[in-house]
Amino acid sequence: MNHEPTVFDKIINREIPAEIVYEDEHCLAFKDINPQAPVHILVIPKKPIVSLAEIDEQDAPLMGHLLVVLSKIARQVGLESGYRTVLNTGPDGGQEVNHLHFHLLGKRSMKWPPG
């Protein structure tokens, strides 16, 4: 399902600025504007997928690609001691921007369970 344009579509289209750390044909990664850890990067598909609840089998290669990119970025920014990967889905999942995105959080010790 396509969605109404979000702030992330505007970042993809360069209508608003972001600190982009990686881009390819299928995805974009940029620094979170309100970081919750010393490293806080968002990895998003260029395809306008609302959330994890919307994906189907045809999105499997794209979802895999997003995780491979996230893993490479984690290596590049020096997160060898570990990191937290978060994918919030829907209102109860704490999702605020209706464009699927992985959070990559690192350079601090994470707690469990999350709030």
Catalytically active residues, by annotation: 101
- For the bound state, the minimum distance from the C-beta of residue 68 to ligand AMP, rounded and expressed in Å, comes to 20
Piece of the chain touching ligand AMP by CB under 6 A; list 25-33, 59-67, 76-84, 105-113: 25-33
In the set 56, 80, 92, 96, which binds ligand AMP (CB under 6 A)? 96
Q: Are 46 and 62 in contact (CB under 8 A)?
A: no
| Euclidean distance between CA atoms 69 and 1, whole angstroms | 24
Instruction: Give the CB-side neighbour count of residue 56, counting CA atoms within 13 A.
Output: 2
Number of neighbours of residue 115 by Cβ within 10 angstroms: 4
Binding of residue 34 to ligand AMP (CB under 6 A): yes
β-bridge pairing 27-31 and 20-23: antiparallel
Binding of residue 33 to ligand AMP (CB under 6 A): yes
Residues that bind ligand AMP (CB under 6 A): 7, 18, 30, 32-34, 42, 88, 94-97
